[in-house]
Structure 1
Amino acid sequence: MVLTNYTKEFKYNLKLASPVILGMLGHTFVSFVDNVMVGQLGAAELAAVSLGNSFIFIAMSLGIGFSTAITPLVAEADAEGDFSKGKSVFKHGLFLCTVLGVLLFLMTVAAKPLMYVMNQPEEVVELAIPYLDLVAFSLVPLIVFQAFKQFSDGLSLTKYPMYATIVANVLNVAINYVLIFGKFGFPEMGIVGAAVGTLVSRFVMLFYLWWLLAKREKSRKFVTHIKFFKLKTQALKKLTNLGLPSAMQMFFEVAIFTAAIWLSGTLGKNAQAANQIALNLSSMTFMVAMGLSVAAMIRVGNQKGLKDFKALKRIAESIFLVGFIFAVVFALVFVIFHETLPHLYVDLDDPVNAVDTIEVVKIAATLLLAAAIFQITDSLQVITLGALRGLQDVYIPTLITFIAYWLIGFPVSYFLGKADAYGSLGIWLGLLAGLSSAAILLYFRFNYLTRKLIAQKHQQA
């Protein structure tokens, strides 16, 4: 192996991934700001946002996972120079994402009564219900936005979703500030104010991205004059066959993190608040890996269209290497600052909640050490999954993610996460087991497929 064969791809890979990373970090930064602002209200409010978002994350995972089917198909059509194929993929993907967004909103609202039977603190549930109502409705513009985003990524126009996300984030932070705390004459709405900010900003984000794409020559013809209801069964079927397994892959991963939130709730509001802090911080670093995963999906999709499988394997492995480097850096940051970072989320000068605050910080600091360890495997599994989506290989990876997270990871979280075992740390040890298993199995799958494709092409030559 000559290292320069991989490092020479770093510049273009990062150029492609950087806008995606910044856009995704923007989403997570808003969540960070939400948590910091809400955390000033108390541990119960922070735990309520965590509980409400646990339902939203499950719905989002299905919608976002489904929408990823659009990117490799558009990337393949772009490499082939086939406009009609690309527009068909986008139109049918937009229709399916719109329908899915409405269904996910209705399902999330219908699931609210589950909060009362999940052994969660009562005061946390009462705070979470009104928050969930508004944020659930924001799923509709979010999933439609994802259709536009995945299409834009497929054309390698990754900076436009980033611009839309930045605008939405700035707006969200401003609305949160005035409505959570009642500034500038606005009513003090607490965590419901945070939900209003999320809802408004997601509608703005959607329409701003459409406007940006409608202005750009490369994308204008795709996003204008769309015959929305003139659909072909075959195109819908192809997107669904790719999208549903992709949705389930993301669902299996997000669901185990959601299970961690619920399991933490059984340990009390302080454990749940600490879990939210560690989860929010590790989500930020995960967004870098997610951005690289999108770059892997685009570049593998392009090379698949060109049928250059040797370059495909080399380029994907170069992205794995970039992800590994970032993951090591993040792991070191978490280890060095594990006791300091939780302080960002709590009010250390609040005498009323002082005892709770100290416990929240202590638990969160321990969880960050576990998060530091799984940075590397978490990064590898999501980037490899992106490469496999670029190959349009979805069924076996879906089975792998189910086995890794629910037959390996969740049982460890459940048994080690009991109060008389390791508590919150035990829950996160299960996450570590699941992510590590997924990383190993997915990499074996990618290596097997690419070697097979290279061998087949060699035989045909």
Structure 2
Amino acid sequence: MLEGIYSRIFPARIFQRGKLKKNGDMKDVLIIALPMLLSMSFDTLMTFVDRLFLSKLGPAEMNAALGGGGVTIVLFSLFTGAISYTTAMVSQRLGAKKYTECARIFVQAIYFSLFCVPFLLLTIPFGHWIFSMQHLDVEQLSAQTTYFDILMFGGVISLVRNVAPCFFSGIGETKIVMKAAFAGMLVNVICNYFLIFGFGPIPKCGVAGAAYGTLIGNAVSTIILFATYFGKRYRNRFGTTLSFALNGKLLKELLQRGLPSGVEMFLNMAAFQLLILMFHGLGSVSATAASIMFNWDMVAYVPLIGLEVATTSLVGRYVGAKAGAAANRVTYSGLKIGWMYSALIGLLFLFLPGVLADIFRPEAADATAASLSIFDAARPHAIFMIRLAILYIMVEVFLVVYAGALRGAGDTLWVMFASALMNWAAAIALYVTAYVFQFSPRYAWAAIVCVYCTAPILFRFRWKSGKWRSKVMLK
């Protein structure tokens, strides 16, 4: 079904694989970006449904998934951020017509992800320590620890799942990533329903069921991508079955260029998780309002990461082909697509904030009176925060497109510093607003949005300066 819809939007004749028939216009970007937007939307929906199901059990379970999942992402981020540069490296080799190196780079990323697993497991006690410092309710602490532990012990699945799409997004064939994500989402939603609520002989597992469902869904999408990677078509073109040798040169390049991206993601995710922890530290009402807001922020923002990946892929490809003008056009095309998407999200946030908040109302049959009371008190704050997020989503378009373009051009170190500075400034703004001046969660969220409004100025200035050209020696 998805294939049919996609083929009607973009007829087969425009897919000239391996040839740069386009020049960075909107159609060129959409060919790569639309499947990635859909792919990230499926991943988002998978996480969103997890939390939606858990919200029916009560705010504690929903907040536990947000808090535990957030710390998991932070601890993964150093590794997944470094791995993500695989897309840029693959796309650069594709542009330079070094096809066998595309597969070799991908394999080095797999080796790197497996090497990271023991170090990831060693961070589990650190996550427990973070939870102990939050002074959470006993119910949320227990659920949050359970959710976190299951995801961390299944870390090898999640790490390889992050590597698997990089090869296909790098070569610009993102439809298979979309299909794999869709399959993983379906499996996850089905498993979560049965595992969270129980069905027949399957016991009610609550947050543990949500974590297991996530791992199962990730495993399914990963298997699909690897089965495609080793298929005849990619064996013939890229030599995928002959790429298993360890290549020190390519691995070194991945580490040199990818680690700044990993550090950037770690610092960004740590700052974002700190925002969540500080909102949770303000009490159950603030925690619930923030959880509702950040769940909808995830729905709005994560698909934009697909646009970021597409921008990185295309800019990297044109960089490899020494086509600087086309790389520049890709960026502006990405901004136009992002603004159209954010306008649609903005309409929902503006006119339906109450409906969006009420989706997370606990079911009366499963929730306690205290849970319903907490939700009712949090609802007005959540509505205000959702409406204000309209501006936030518009700003995020600048952030993801320019950051993706700069990464594709190899300017990862600057992106690391700029992103970290902005995200930690937002965390500081929240602390000052909520903890020093003791303003309500509404004003704390407003302070965060104001900080993020610096993104268009900062990132556009860097791109317009043209300093990224020196990173790849484009003339």
* Pairwise same-fold verdict (TM > 0.5): yes
1:323 counterpart letter in structure 2: G
1:441 counterpart letter in structure 2: L
State the SS of the aligned residue for 2:354. Answer: coil
Which residue is equivalent to 2:166? 150
Partners of 1:63 and 1:100 within 8 A in 2: yes
* Larger displacement relative to structure 2 (206-215 or 118-127): 118-127
* Larger displacement relative to structure 2 (102-111 or 331-340): 102-111
Which residue is equivalent to 1:66? 82
Which residue is equivalent to 1:438? 455
> 1: distance between equivalents of 2:273 and 2:235?
37
Deviation at 1:156, TM superposition (A): 0.8
Partners of 1:180 and 1:193 within 8 A in 2: yes
1:108 counterpart letter in structure 2: I
Is the alpha carbon distance of 1:197 and 1:253 closer, same or farther for their aligned partners in structure 2, counting shifts above 3 Å? same
Q: 1:165-185 deviations in whole A, cap 9, x for unaligned?
A: 111111111111111111122
Partners of 2:42 and 2:182 within 8 A in 1: yes
- State yes or no: 1:389 paired with 2:407: yes
Deviation at 1:423, TM superposition (A): 3.0
Which residue is equivalent to 1:413? 430
> 2: distance between equivalents of 1:401 and 1:184?
48
* Larger displacement relative to structure 2 (196-205 or 8-17): 8-17
Q: 1:244-266 deviations in whole A, cap 9, x for unaligned?
A: 11112222322222111100111
Picking from 242, 246, 252, the partner of 1:231 is 246
Partners of 1:417 and 1:425 within 8 A in 2: no
Is the alpha carbon distance of 1:166 and 1:311 closer, same or farther for their aligned partners in structure 2, counting shifts above 3 Å? same
Deviation at 1:34, TM superposition (A): 0.8
> 1: distance between equivalents of 2:416 and 2:346?
27
Which residue is equivalent to 1:262? 277
> 2: distance between equivalents of 1:108 and 1:219?
39
Deviation at 1:94, TM superposition (A): 1.5
Which residue is equivalent to 2:15? none
Picking from 50, 72, 89, the partner of 1:34 is 50
Deviation at 1:68, TM superposition (A): 1.7
Deviation at 1:368, TM superposition (A): 0.6
- State yes or no: 1:281 paired with 2:296: yes
Q: 1:357-399 deviations in whole A, cap 9, x for unaligned?
A: 2123222112112211111111111111100011011111111
Which residue is equivalent to 2:141? 125
2:446 counterpart letter in structure 1: L
1:436 counterpart letter in structure 2: C
Deviation at 1:222, TM superposition (A): 4.6
Q: TM-score, normalised by structure 1?
A: 0.91
Which residue is equivalent to 1:201? 217
Which residue is equivalent to 1:300? 315
State the SS of the aligned residue for 1:97. Answer: helix
Is the alpha carbon distance of 1:246 and 1:430 closer, same or farther for their aligned partners in structure 2, counting shifts above 3 Å? farther
Which residue is equivalent to 1:323? 338
Partners of 1:38 and 1:190 within 8 A in 2: yes
**Aligned 1:13-92 pairs, distance under 5 A:** 13-92=29-108
Partners of 2:51 and 2:62 within 8 A in 1: yes
> 1: distance between equivalents of 2:232 and 2:45?
28
Partners of 1:138 and 1:202 within 8 A in 2: no
> 1: distance between equivalents of 2:312 and 2:209?
37
> 2: distance between equivalents of 1:405 and 1:136?
25
1:179 counterpart letter in structure 2: L
Deviation at 1:422, TM superposition (A): 2.6
Q: 1:2-55 deviations in whole A, cap 9, x for unaligned?
A: xxxx99822231121111111111111011111111001011111111221121
Is the alpha carbon distance of 1:110 and 1:256 closer, same or farther for their aligned partners in structure 2, counting shifts above 3 Å? closer
2:61 counterpart letter in structure 1: E
Deviation at 1:450, TM superposition (A): 6.1
Q: 1:325-364 deviations in whole A, cap 9, x for unaligned?
A: 3223322321111121011111364572331221232221
Q: 1:195-229 deviations in whole A, cap 9, x for unaligned?
A: 111122222221121012222513665543443xx
2:162 counterpart letter in structure 1: Q
State the SS of the aligned residue for 1:120. Answer: coil
2:32 counterpart letter in structure 1: L
Is the alpha carbon distance of 1:219 and 1:18 closer, same or farther for their aligned partners in structure 2, counting shifts above 3 Å? farther
Partners of 2:272 and 2:423 within 8 A in 1: no
State the SS of the aligned residue for 1:345. Answer: coil
- State yes or no: 1:173 paired with 2:174: no
Deviation at 1:70, TM superposition (A): 0.6
Partners of 1:131 and 1:192 within 8 A in 2: yes
2:105 counterpart letter in structure 1: V
Deviation at 1:147, TM superposition (A): 1.6
Deviation at 1:153, TM superposition (A): 0.6
Partners of 1:70 and 1:154 within 8 A in 2: yes
* Larger displacement relative to structure 2 (313-322 or 24-33): 313-322
> 2: distance between equivalents of 1:450 and 1:319?
20
Q: TM-score, normalised by structure 2?
A: 0.88
Partners of 1:210 and 1:223 within 8 A in 2: no
> 2: distance between equivalents of 1:226 and 1:86?
9
For the aligned residue pairs, the C-alpha RMSD in angstroms reads 2.4
> 1: distance between equivalents of 2:467 and 2:307?
19
> 1: distance between equivalents of 2:373 and 2:279?
18
* Larger displacement relative to structure 2 (269-278 or 36-45): 269-278
Which residue is equivalent to 1:334? 349
* Larger displacement relative to structure 2 (339-348 or 380-389): 339-348
Is the alpha carbon distance of 1:416 and 1:372 closer, same or farther for their aligned partners in structure 2, counting shifts above 3 Å? same
Partners of 2:398 and 2:456 within 8 A in 1: yes
Partners of 2:353 and 2:383 within 8 A in 1: yes
Partners of 2:68 and 2:145 within 8 A in 1: yes
> 2: distance between equivalents of 1:219 and 1:389?
28
Which residue is equivalent to 1:345? 360
The alignment of Structure 1 onto Structure 2 pairs a total of residues equal to 449
